[in-house]
Every structure is written in structure tokens, then in C-alpha cells.
Chains A and B, each alone.
Chain A
Amino acid sequence: MESHSFHPRLAELISKYPKSAGALFQTFNDVTLAQKWTDIQVLELSKCGRGAIKGLRPSLTAGEPPSTCVVVPCGLAESLSTSWIRGAFAALDDQLADAPETLFVAICSDDSSIVYYKITKGIMKPQV
């Protein structure tokens, strides 16, 4: 990890929150190289004890502009809770001027699979 070119950007958060270091590194790589997000910023969410990544995600439909998304990494073997989710939203409220109602959680596993799920505050109907 240390010799990877992305490491310097994440070094501080990796040393501060070692338990989520693997997930953060894996998610950062995926989002940057595979999902091709742009304008990437790394945020510190102390209320959930980890770093998060904010960026512009290209739209899934052609012709639409990219949207601002925040992704919070976690490991498949971690134990979360709804108060953890609440903490993530609260930390984003602190950090960002326009606090999002939606965040993505990136669930990382040992075999380098990564799955993204969208979590929205409140009762939000699925889009058709």
C-alpha cells in the first residue's frame, strides 16, 4: 500500500484510522480508476472513525451532468449500526456546506470485491 502512488493522499487518514485503512484505500482506487469519478476530495469523518471520499460521479445515462456523491468505505466483516449511519450523516453535515441527504456506503471484502449501496435519510421512494 505504502508504495502505491495514491498513498500520500491517504497517508494521514490511514495512520489515524488503521482499522478502516484497507477499505479506504480500496474504495479510493476503485472510485478514481474504475468508476472514473472526478474532482475527488478526501474527508475525515471523526464521528464514524474513518475517512470518506467525495467526488463527481459520471452519470449513468448519456448526456446528463455528473453528480456530487459521497462514499463512506467499510469492510464486510465490520459491525455497523444505525447510530453509525446517523454519525456518518452528522459528520457530513459538519464537513460540507450543502449536506447531502444521501450517502453511498462502499462495502469492501478481502477478495477486493466492492459493492456500493445508497443510503438516504428518511422514507424515500425508489426511483422508477
Chain B
Amino acid sequence: MASHRDRPIPLRVSNKKGYVWDVDDIAILRSHHHICGVLAGTLPHLSQQNVFLGVPLLLMPEEVVLLVDKGGPGFAILVDDQNAHHDPSAVELDKWDSERLRGIEEQLALAEEHEAREALNPDRAMSENAILKRKEREAKKARGKANALEPDQSLSTPLSTESVPDPPGPPDSSHGSGVTVTRNSVTPYTVHVPGTSSAFEWYALSNHSFNTLAAARDAGIWDYPKTPFERARCAVFRDLWEQGYFMGGGIKFGGEYLVYPGDPLRYHSHFVASVIESPAAPLRPMEIVAHGRLGTGTKKAHLLCEWDEDKQAATYYSIEWAGFG
């Protein structure tokens, strides 16, 4: 795999799942390497966000294995995310805290400045724009009242001037010269939360990265694949990937993977794939019935993907309902 960038793609592992947090990496994985993953991030204030999700991208374990193995050295690395976040030192914490306070002070200073400007210009209500808007409002009202029964009610000018709202400002500011503006004791300010962990000085990815699965396994952060079935899954996934297919999760159609001929945003999948662990693994006729009928019923075929560990080869059989009988 050609590396399009000068740094390896970090696959940040947390609780044995691989996440991609950098948007550029997500784009490269999809467009250059046809690895889609699933976006899993939600916004804190949306109580039911379930259609469009954001970062991080959650990868299937087979996708992680493929990227680290097949990508070659320096393409993708596994990051032990938990340990990459160190406890900040006293110095780092002081620095962070003073920057945070300075940011708040700057915001408060700007707010004060803004209020002072407002107070020096108490006749904002009489500015050109305000006058124009007021005239429009009065004309509208006059038209409305003229269409009503009483014609002399259109002379309602004194009423309309009183209905103009006061310009917004602190409640105890007063008009005229020599004014003192007393600031509200709780002026709101914005708290900025950085988007990436790499913005923190105490996030050190270089000491907690692994560029092979074996190294990650030794460190205890990654252990897939560990059973023959998991090995078969990785092998079949890789074989299909090498043939250029895009794969997604198959749960909606009763299989392990959905196999797409191109980007899932553009195509429907043609196949629902299930992995057969070995040539001798028992296969019940009822599975052929269930997979075949569900596949055909959803305009797909079911793909039985057999992995032969001895021959290191994958064999495929496509299953469809016969349409007769």
C-alpha cells in the first residue's frame, strides 16, 4: 500500500477495538484503500442521533488486522490509547490551567469592551436602521387598522413609539453622559474543549505504538485473531478485499459481511457472506435454505466463503433460491 502521507495512520485501540479519530485518515482509508468502517460518534446534546454519526470511525477487527499486516511497515500502527494519555506533570498542568484562565480573561475583557461601546452609544435606538424599521412597522400597522371598521384608529402613532423595545444591555446602564457601566457579576464565557487528544501535551503516542500485531499482542492490547474461526474470518476478509470488494457488517441480512462491488454510498451489495471455517466444517441443509432464501428475497446471493487453513486458499460458492419447487 502506498503511503500518501508522512506518518502512519494511528489506529487507536481502546478495549480491544480499533478507532480512527482523524478525519483525513478516515477519508484516505475509504477512498484509497476501500476500508469503510462505521462512524460511531455522537454529539452530546442530541438525544437521539442515529442517522448521521461522526468520528471516531470504528473498524472491524478484520479491518485492523488487514491494515497492520497488509499495509506494510509504516502504513498503520496500533496505539495503546489508554496508556498514551499520561497523567499530566505539575508543570504541564500549570501551563494548561494558566492558558485556560488567560483565555477566559480575554473573553471577559472583550465583553467589557463591547458593553462600554454600547453604553457610550445610548441612542442606538435612534440609529438610521432602527428608524427605518420602526417606520415600516408603523406603516404595516396603519394598513392593517385602515382595513378594519374604524377609520380614525389609524392615527395610532403615539402607541407605536412606546412599543419599541429598549436596546439590549445591562439592566443598570443609564443614558446620558458620565455614565458608569457596572458589569453583571456572572458574565458568560465559552469553554473550549480541544477536538483531539494530540492537542494535550500529556498525550504521547510515540511511546505507545505498535507496528505489528505480535507486538500489540505482547503488550496485551490486541489479540485478534485467536481462534481458528477468527483466523478464517481474517483470511476470507483479506481475500475479498484483495479482489477489490468493499465490505460492511452483515447483521442486517443474516451474514458476516455485506460484499459491495464499489463504495456502499453508490451501490447496493450483491452478496451476503458467511465464513466457513474449514472444508470439513458441518453445514446443515437448513442453513442453505435460510441463507439462500433470505439472499434471494433481498436481491442478493448468499456467499459461502470456505477457508482451507492447510492449503491457505479461499473457495466461494454462491447460493440462491432455485425459483422452482
Contacts and interface: CB of A to CB of B under 8 A. Distances in A.
Contacts of A115: 289, 322, 325
Given A116-B325, A119-B318, A126-B320, A81 B299 contact: no
B319 A83 contact: no
15 contacts: A35-B325, A74-B285, A80-B285, A81-B283, A83-B279, A84-B283, A116-B325, A117-B321, A118-B292, A118-B323, A120-B318, A122-B318, A123-B318, A126-B296, A126-B299
B281 A81 contact: yes
B268 to A, nearest CB: 11
A84 B299 CA distance: 27
Contact of B279 (A30, A86, A104, A114): A86
Contacts of B304: 82, 85
B324 A76 contact: no
B322 A117 contact: yes
Interface in A91-128: 104-107, 114-126, 128
A123 to B, nearest CB: 5
Contacts of A83: 279-280
List the 7 shortest-distance A-B pairs measured between CB atoms, nearest first: A116-B322, A83-B279, A116-B325, A82-B306, A126-B301, A124-B318, A120-B318
A77 B283 CA distance: 11
Contacts of A81: 279-283
B284 A79 contact: yes
B301 A75 contact: no
A121 B292 contact: no
B320 A118 contact: yes
Mostly helix, strand, loop or mixed at chain A's interface?
A: mixed
Contacts of A54: none
B295 to A, nearest CB: 7
Interface residues of A, number: 35
A112 B271 CA distance: 31
Contacts of B303: 123
A79 B300 CA distance: 25
Nearest to B279: A83
B14 interface: no
A85 B292 contact: no
B270 interface: yes
